[in-house]
Structures are given as structure tokens and as C-alpha cells.
Amino acid sequence: AQSRDMLAWLLIALPSVQAFGSGVWVDPNHFTSPNSLAGLRFVSESPPHHLHMVGTDDGVTFWAVEGRCSGPRMVNLAFDFSSKGGYLMVGKHAGGPTGPQNITWPDGNVWTLLDRPTAAFSIPNGVDDHFGVFIDPNHFQGYHSFAGMRFIAESPPHVLKMVGTDDNAWYSMWYLEGFCSGEDMRLIHFDFSPKGGPADLMGKWYPTALSSPPKILWQDGNGWYKLVSPNDAAAILRSSPAATRAGSALALMGVLAAVAAAVYGLAARR
């Protein structure tokens, strides 16, 4: 019983020590439909108390702003929206780690946390450039999850900012910075050291004329694909290491569940 209580406590406590404010948020002032990325905001707290947001108002162009969280349980979220024509705003996060969450802003706008991708994530938006939503096959698990998705903005010009997640957990979104260079700005550089990778990993952007689907091909051989159709996503998923890991994890969970049921069954008969 003690072990079960401890496990339950850990499952609840783990998100609570992470960042409130991180995750994928829906801004109803710009959201149009589940078939568009318009109104989505992708937020990471990295390092602690420093917030980074990549967002899109029209589902086509992407911007980036920075902010901070403060106060008891870090519920006060301050963002400087001046780079996109706004101003400094302080919102308040509400909701627990296992329930619905929202951010309420002084103007009465309320953002809600999105728990899984909408249809828009499987609809190529026709913007043939190196910003937007990309899929990393090394972590992608399918369109039921944000795992393996990377959200990139070029803001200001030639400066790249990226929010992403490897495991779909809203509280473990990470943030990286980089830049683009070379002919047509096709050389993509990012500092992956904050998440344990190289400090200057270089990739090359391959637009639709050179790759279908378009992608960023990295020095290590991994290719990130820009918003792809469900058929392309299925092909990517079949060859994805993440799919193998997920399958193994599900199998292990099944075994553990069976063992637990047997143990508790024996205990109940005693």
C-alpha cells in the first residue's frame, strides 16, 4: 500500500514542480477552426522562470516573444508582446497539473490548454519556408500526440527560435535558439546544448522543389518534415524509433499490469 501511495504521489507531484504556463495554448481571439493553426501559442519555461513563446495568428506566419513567470506557484505570466504590435501583459494561470488549465489576461481573454493536436497539424499549409511546424521522426508518435513536434519562428529576420517536446508532456516543453544563413537562408543552425545535444548543429532546408515532403536535413542524418499529410505521417511513423519505443513501453505496461493484478489477487485471497 505504501508503494502504491508513493507512486500516486509521484505522478501528481511531478508536473507540479515543473512550469505552469508551458504547453500548447489556444487564443480564442485568433483561433478560427480546428483545421487551422491560427491562434495557437507554444510555450516553454527554459531556464526556470523564463518563458518563451512561438505563436501564429493566421496559421501561416510565426512570431516569437519572451516573458517570465512569478508569484506563488509561478502563476503570474508576463509576456512582452511589443514585437508584434502589443504591449507587456501579465496573465494568470489557473488549474491543476491533472485537470483543465487556462490563462486569463487583463483584457478578459482566456487561453485554454490544448491536450492533443487538432486536424490542422495534418494539413500542409502551403508555406514553403523553414519556419512553422516540423515533425522529428526520432520522437514522433502520431497525430494523437505533440511528441516529436517542433515549432519554429524566424523572429527577427535570420534569428530562429524553437519550442518543442519529445514526450507530449506540457510541462517539459523545451526551447532552443539558432539562426539561418547561406544562399536563400537555407542553412539552419541551432544550439541543442540545453537539451544535451551539440552547441551548433547545422541542417539544410529542402523546399518542395527539392524534397517531398519539404524538410530540414541535419548533419546527423535525421530529417525533420514540415506539416505532412496523414499518409506521409503514417510512413514516417512506421520507420520512427519512437514508434518502436512506444510499442515496447505499451508491452511492458501490459506485463506490469498483469503482474500487479496477480499480486493484488493473491493478496485479496489471503
Q: Is the pLDDT of residue 263 over 90?
A: no
Q: Is the pLDDT of residue 66 over 60?
A: yes
DSSP 216: E
Contacts of 218 (CB under 8 A, 6+ apart): 201, 202, 203, 224
Contacts of 22 (CB under 8 A, 6+ apart): 43, 44, 45, 51, 170, 171, 172, 173
Q: Are 118 and 32 in contact (CB under 8 A)?
A: no
SS3 state at 14 = helix
Pairwise CA distance, residues 253 & 3, whole Å: 17
HSE-CB for 207 with a 13 A CA cutoff: 12
pTM, full prediction = 0.82
Q: Are 44 and 22 in contact (CB under 8 A)?
A: yes
Q: Are 173 and 44 in contact (CB under 8 A)?
A: yes
Q: Are 15 and 97 in contact (CB under 8 A)?
A: yes
Q: Is the pLDDT of residue 190 over 90?
A: yes
Pairwise CA distance, residues 88 & 69, whole Å: 13
Q: Per-domain residue ranges for the chain? A: 11-238, 240-269
> Which residue type, as a one-letter code, is found at position 27?
D
Q: Average per-residue pLDDT in the chain?
A: 84
Please state the φ and ψ torsions of residue 224, each to the nearest 5 degrees: -100, 130
- How, if at all, do strands 50-56 and 40-45 pair? antiparallel
Grid cell, residue 239, equals 520507420
Q: Identify the CA nearest to 132 among candidates 197, 205, 33.
A: 205
Q: What pLDDT is stored for residue 260 in this prediction?
A: 40
107-161, pLDDT tens digit by residue? 999 999 999 999 999 988 778 999 999 999 999 998 999 999 999 999 999 999 9
Q: What pLDDT is stored for residue 242 in this prediction?
A: 59
